[in-house]
Structure 1
C-alpha cells in the first residue's frame, strides 16, 4: 500500500547546503533549524560527516520535510544501508511550524537521521566534500546555526575557502 506520509529529516552534513537539497530532493520543504543533544559531529574515515553519541555535545542541522519519493532518493545518496543507516531521533526544533510536542519548554520532533555506525573514527574529508561543506556552512550560518558551533565542530575538519 502506497503512502503519502511526509518524513521530517535532520540534515547535518552537506545537506545543510540548501541548493544541494533542492537538486537532490525537489519536493523537499525547508522547515528551519534544529538541534540534537548529546551527539557530536565528525568527519569519519570514509571522508564524510556522521554523528556519534557524546554526552554534553550537540549537533545543529536543518529540518526538512520529505516526500516518500525524496526520501527514497536521499537513501540512495546516503548509501543506505551500506554506508549509513536510518534512525529516528527526537530533536529540538526552532522553526515556526507547529510540529511535534513541547517538553520542558522545548519543541521536540521525531526526525529521520542518517548515521554511519561502522566508520566512527575521525578522518580527513574527501576533497570534493570540502567544497560542498563550505557551501553548507555558508547556508548554515545564514539559516541561524550558531557560528560558535561551526567554529568548534565543523571548521576543525573543513578548511574555510581562500576567499574568507
Structure 2
C-alpha cells in the first residue's frame, strides 16, 4: 500500500475516516524543507487553498496513512484530481521510526493570497485533532488571514 502524507484539513482523523474508511493511520511526521502555503484563489469559492511548496528550513506536520487503492480513488475525487486542481508528488516524511517515502497532493496553480479566517481556523482545528504539536497549531492560528466576508 502506498503511504499518503496528509496535511491541512486531511489531518483530521474523522475527515480521513470518511474520505478513506479502509486506510489506517500509520504514524505522523514532518515534511522537512517544505512549508504550508496557499494558492489558487480563483479556483475555490472559499479563496486560496492550502498546499505545500519546497522551502529550506521550514517544515509541515503530516499524518501518514496506508491507503488502499479504492480509498486512493475516493480521496482523488474528494481532492479534485479530475478537475486538475491538485497533482500528486512524492515526498520524504521524517518520522520517529525513520524516513518514509510517501505521496501527497500539491496545488497545480500559483501561490498567493490570504485564506479566510474560517478556513484557517479549520486547518488549525484539523491539526489539533491530528495530534500536531501545540506550537504548530498556535502558529497556524496566528497566520495572516482575511475576514470570512471578503
TM-score, normalization: structure 2? 0.81
How far did 1:13 drift? Answer: 0.8
Is the 2:6–2:104 Cα contact (8 Å) retained in structure 1? yes
Aligned to 1:150, which of 96, 120, 137? 137
Aligned to 1:90, which of 92, 115, 129? 92
2 CA distance for matches of 1:131 and 1:151? Answer: 10
- Corresponding residue for 1:67? 68
- Corresponding residue for 2:111? 120
Stretches of structure 2 that go unaligned for 5 or more consecutive residues are: 42-47
- Corresponding residue for 2:55? 54
2 CA distance for matches of 1:154 and 1:45? Answer: 21
1 CA distance for matches of 2:9 and 2:117? Answer: 12
Which structure is larger by alpha-carbon Rg, 1 or 2? Answer: 1
1 CA distance for matches of 2:127 and 2:142? Answer: 9
Instruction: Note the 1:25-44 alignment, pairs <5 A.
Output: 25-44=20-39
Is the 2:28–2:95 Cα contact (8 Å) retained in structure 1? yes
Q: CA RMSD in A?
A: 2.3
Equivalent position SS for 2:81? coil
Equivalent position SS for 1:71? helix
Give the number of aligned pairs: 139
Is the 1:38–1:57 Cα contact (8 Å) retained in structure 2? yes
The list of structure 1 runs, each at least 4 consecutive aligned residues, that deviate by more than 4 angstroms after superposition, is none
- Corresponding residue for 1:101? none
